[in-house]
Structure 1
Amino acid sequence: MGSSYMFKLTTLLYALLVLMTASLAHARTYDDVIASKYIEFAVYRDFAPYSFMQEGEPAGIDVELGKYIARELGLEARWLWLTADESVDDDLRNAIWKGSVIDRKKADVMLRVPYDREYSYAQDGYGLPRNDMVVMLAPYHKESWQLVRDLNKTGEVRNLAIFQYQAIGVELDSLPDFFLVGIYQGRLRENVHHYATVFGALKDLNAGKLSAVAGMRSQLEWGLPNRPGNFDIDDDGLESLGRKTWDIGIAIKENYRQLGYAVNDVITAMIENGDMEKIFSQYRVSYHLPSTYELDAE
């Protein structure tokens, strides 16, 4: 009984472990989601004003959006907190189609995904689709890179040349960071100050240590709740930035499109009835229609 019994027991335990892991990793169909009475959204951790913890509770634009979608579908909203990896491809893998390397847990829907046809159909180095495991749809906002300037320091100068003499803050390794240290043959480099988050830069701007900060418009607006009249936000000087604006949407696993269509219908209605804009206003962020809706209006 000894060795034979132990072998069978070990085999059984291993099989159970595999089944449990597969269950955790299993992506859920629309019917699964409705039957469970909850829907789980992947949102980025510590990413104000979109998703963050406030007084021990989830908060932010994307959290409010998730709650709204869940309510319209008659479900409870739950959250899969996602730490940003090296690329959006990695985030999609971890959140939607494969799961984290630790527990393989996945969400039903990922929020704040770049909605871009070129990106959606991009190919890898072997000519194969990079994102064939996910579907990106339901654009709900247009984000942009902007500058907030202290006009008492920059005056009427609207180009970037002034930052050869004035200090400007950026989040480390962001697109504005790479852009500013490289433009004008690197002549701005000494005056580009790096911060772990854009909010650290805004703190120094308020303290008079910087003349400007470059970042996402939503974060600049959120981070300056009592913006003085001499702080101006626009995109002047960023004309040669690779991409100044981009749409934001959702992602689901490729073979569960019915769920995506249901969420898309809710988001479309929110945009059309003004509820989407109200959520952004709640967080002091100006709302901008995705490019799809702008084209439809022309």
Structure 2
Amino acid sequence: MVVRILFLICVALSSYANARSYEDIIESGQITIAVYNDFPPYSFLQDGEPAGVDIEIGKHIAKGLGVSVEWLWINADENLEDDLRNAIWKGHIITRQKADVMLRVPYDRRFAYAIDGYGLPKNELVVMFSPYQRESWALVRDHEKTNDIRTLAIFQYENVAVELDSLPSFFLGATIGGRLRDKLVHVDSVFTGIDKLKAGEVAAVAGMRSQLQWGMGPLTSQYDISADGLAAMSIKSWDIGMAVKQDYRELTYAIEGIITPMVNSGEMEKLYLEYGLSYEIPDYFRTE
């Protein structure tokens, strides 16, 4: 009897965990969407309820498909491959739960079609599609400390906060012959850096533009946000899209039919503006 019960539980969990086809999603009346946990302004809990740009986009997808939405909250792993494995094609290491679609996936054709050391595709188990935003790195500066100097040279003398192990951290630590290294203040998040900026402990914070805008809120004349000084970064901006399991391309076509009109009509930009964020259309739409 115990063995039978355990078997039925395993079957139920297996059925619940699997990413599903478009037909299965429509038939079930529900879609599971993976979003990053505690990642404002994209996906987070506000008064106990899911909020953020990606949450709103997920709701639009569910509404367009005529189904309800369930969120699979995931924590960022060491790299994107790990996140895609955990959210889409293999599932959580303990629960094995998977999502039907994952949001906030960097959309890069070189990454999507990358080849490993054996000449085999590295990401053949997922399909990356439907870019909906272009993200970029930026700096928020305190003019009273930087004296309106737009180059990075000022940070030989003034502290700048950077998130630990982020691309801005590596770049600022190496640029100008490493002369800024001793002025980098490593923080656990952009928002901790913003707290230090407002307290006068640093002269600037480097991070993703949308997070800087969200954390700062309406700017006073004391601060501004720009990419001045970051032109030499290896990656300055990138498209953000989605991913599903390789088997379910029909789902990508259905979702693209919802997202593309949002981008082209300006509805996507309006959504970002409602969160106090600027919006940049993905390069994907410009090159087409």
Scaled to the shorter chain, the TM-score interval is over 0.9
The one of 109, 116, 124 equivalent to 1:124 is 116
C-alpha distance in 2 between matches for 1:14 and 1:271 = 47
Give the secondary-structure state (helix, strand or coil) at the position aligned to 2:278: coil
**Structure 2 counterpart of 1:284, one-letter code:** G
1:38 matched to 2:30? yes
Distance, in Å, in 2 between the alignment partners of 1:232 and 1:137 is 33
Does structure 1 residue 113 correspond to structure 2 residue 105? yes
The one-letter code of the counterpart of 1:180 is L
1:266 counterpart = 2:258:
yes
Q: Counterparts of 1:4-43 in structure 2 under 5 Å?
A: 12=4, 15-43=7-35
Q: How many residues are treated as equivalent by the alignment?
A: 288
Match of 2:213 among 221, 236, 239: 221
Name the CA distance, whole Å, in 1 between partners of 2:242 and 2:68: 18
1:202-221 counterparts in 2 under 5 A? 202-221=194-213
Q: Which amino acid in 2 is paired with 1:165?
A: Y
Does 1:146 pair with 2:176? no
Give the drift of 1:58: 0.2
The match for 2:234 is 242
1:24 is displaced (CA, Å) by 2.9
Contact persistence 2:18–2:99 (CA under 8 A): no
Matched residue, 2:71: 79
SS at match of 2:239: strand
TM-score between both structures, scaled by the size of structure 2: 0.96
- Aligned residue type for 2:280: H
Aligned to 2:286: 294
How far residue 10 of structure 1 moved from its aligned partner, in angstroms, is: 6.6
Decide whether the 8 Å contact of 1:25 with 1:98 is kept in 2: no
The farther-off stretch of 255-264 and 121-130 is 121-130
Unmatched 5+ residue regions in structure 1? Answer: 1-8
Post-superposition offset of 1:80: 0.2
The structure with more radius of gyration: 1
Deviations 1:99-139 (A, max 9, x none): 01111100111000000000100122222111100000000
Q: How far off its partner does 1:17 sit?
A: 4.8
Alignment of 1:95 onto 2:84: no
Does structure 2 conserve the Cα–Cα contact (< 8 Å) formed by 1:114 and 1:249?
yes
Question: Which residue pairs with 2:187 in the alignment?
Answer: 195
Contact 1:100/1:106, CA 8 A, preserved across alignment: yes
Identity %: 53
**What secondary structure sits across from 2:150 in the alignment?**
coil
Q: Residue 81 of structure 1 aligns to which amino acid in structure 2?
A: W
List alignment gaps of at least 5 residues for structure 2: none
What's the offset of the Cα at 1:150?
Answer: 1.1
- Which residue of structure 2 aligns with residue 161 of structure 1? 153
Aligned to 1:250, the other structure's residue is in SS state strand
Q: Is the 2:76–2:83 contact (alpha carbons within 8 Å) kept by the matching residues of 1?
A: yes
AA aligned to 2:252 is G
SS at match of 2:175: helix
The answer to whether the 8 A contact 2:150-2:229 is kept is yes
Aligned residue for 1:161, secondary structure, equals helix
Q: CA RMSD in A?
A: 1.4
Aligned equivalents of 2:25 and 2:196: distance in 1? 46
The alignment partner of 1:43 has SS state of strand
Residue of structure 2 in register with 1:133 after alignment: 125
Between the aligned partners of 2:16 and 2:285, the Cα distance in structure 1 is: 37
1:156 positional shift = 3.2
Deviation at 1:207, TM superposition (A): 1.6
Which residue is equivalent to 2:62?
A: 70
Where does structure 1 differ by over 4 angstroms across 4 or more consecutive aligned residues? 9-15
Asked if residue 285 in structure 1 is aligned to residue 274 in structure 2, the reply is: no
* Preserved contact between residue 25 and residue 106 of structure 1 (Cα < 8 Å): yes
Q: 233-242 or 88-97, which moves further after superposition?
A: 233-242
